[in-house]
Amino acid sequence: MASTRTAFQLGQAMMYHNFGLTVQTFFFGGYSVLILLATRLFLQRGLKTLSTRVLLALSLFMYIVSTAFWAYTVADVVAATQNYIDPTNVQWANFFTQVSVPFTLWNAIVLVNFVVSDGIVIWRAWVICRRSHRVYLLIPTAFLLLTAASTSGLISLRAIDIVKPGWISRKPFTRAIDVMQLSNMTTSLLSNLTATGLIGIEAWRHRKTIRRAFQRKTTKVNQVLLLLLESGTLYCSTGVIGIISQLIRLPHGTLNDLLVPVNIQLAGAYAPALLLLISSHSTADETEFLGTSIAVNVVTHPGPRNDVSVVGRRRERPPVLSAIHFAVGTGSEGLGLHETFSTFSLSDDGSPRHSPSRALSGNEEKVTKPPGDLHYV
């Protein structure tokens, strides 16, 4: 009876292993398509700025880590299956031992993807936020440092366990591993929540400014800001699910054991997916990664070159355009939006009125007015 029960437990464990690998492979396939399209887009637009090259390198690094983890998971499932079929086979048993022992170390190494992805989110928020609000980014940065510290601690303990088997089996060390695993997911979630919240504030400010000045519901800039906010919120939801899943026990481990490989793929895919989503809202010349520049639809009028077009007896205002000037300082090229708005509109007497939120600094690029009647916002 005991052997029958043991066989049942082993079979159940194999079922979980294969199910987890199937789900992970599905998401890894989607991730591979995203990274291929994103890399192609990077190369099409050129790697002229340092930030673009850094983002491409980080995206490829996370993909390499995810690929290695997926390949190792395949090897682990194959070894476990062989050991389940014939546990008396010495060669298969040795292969299973060689693969399964370092697997916990790999589970710790792939957490680096969360650290890198969180850093990209904070970097994006830093570029979008106005300078007076960037001090608040110290909050997500602190959480990011805690995430990096817990990840480093886990990698160190898992490496020690391989060098000295059984050394961390003592209760203090096992408890420390449990605490660091939970804190890693918690601090990563808090880092993303605070950074996404700051992006939401900037999106709300821009929408409020446009509606107050021109009674316009939305602009392309606002659409991209909302896209960043919505994608960030969706990404945060995966962190919430991951924390909750740690509390759900299964006959073999926890639900989080099945979701961690998926969350690792999602963490790596977040940056290239965001690039492709933003590109779908604008052309290649209009936006770089995370919003290098968001183009304004330029409308020219072949008519009179004054500030008011006259049709019959009716005076028509020329179209009002909306844009955000982008920082071109060190570290922000190719990344995001600057906080400044410049508004041009018509006063009651028909004369142009300029109400900039602040003057352009010397580091910002000036917009050259093309031929025709244009109003910039």
Q: Burial of 87 by CB count in 10 Å (0-12 exposed, 13-18 middle, 19+ buried)?
A: exposed
Structure tokens at 254: 């926890």
pLDDT given for residue 260 in this prediction: 85
Cα separations (Å) of 377 from 206, 296, 325, 344?
11, 10, 10, 6
What's the pLDDT at 359?
A: 40
- 189: exposed, middle or buried (Cβ count in 10 Å: 0-12, 13-18, 19+): buried
Q: Give pLDDT tens digits for 310-319.
A: 444 444 444 4
Q: What type of residue sits at position 46?
A: G
Instruction: Please give the Cα distance from 17 to 23 (Å, whole number).
Output: 10
Residue where the block lists tokens 């968001």: 294
Mean pLDDT taken over the chain: 73
| 131 or 221: which leads in pLDDT | 131
For residues 44 and 33, what is the distance between their CA atoms, to the nearest angstrom?
17
**Model pLDDT, residue 218:** 63
pLDDT higher at 178 or 217: 178
Least confident of 44-53, 146-155, 167-176: 167-176
In angstroms, the CA 280 to CA 370 distance is 26
Q: How confident is the model at residue 331 (pLDDT cuts 50, 70, 90)?
A: very low
Averaged pLDDT, 159-164: 84
> Does residue 56 surpass a pLDDT of 80?
yes
Alpha carbons 343 and 275: distance in angstroms, whole number: 28
Percentages helix, strand, coil for the chain (3-state, rounded to 5) are 65, 5, 30
pLDDT above 90 (res 70): yes
Decide: 357 and 341 in contact? Cβ < 8 Å: yes
Packing angle of the helix pair 171-214, 138-163 (nearest 10 deg): 150
pLDDT at 372: 40
> Strand, helix or coil at 331?
coil
- What percentage of the chain exceeds 70 in pLDDT? 70
3-class secondary-structure state, position 353: strand
Tens of pLDDT along 77-132? 888 888 888 878 888 888 888 888 788 888 899 999 999 999 988 988 888 888 88
CB-CB neighbours of 99 under 10 Å: 19
SS3 180: helix
Task: Please report the pLDDT score of residue 328 as a whole number.
Answer: 39
Between 58-62, 151-155, 259-263, 356-360, the lowest mean confidence (pLDDT) is in: 356-360
Instruction: Identify the CA nearest to 289 among candidates 321, 336, 327, 242.
Output: 336
More confident residue, 229 or 366: 229
Residues 6+ apart with CB under 8 A from 98: 79
**Tokens representing residue 267 in the block:** 């963490």
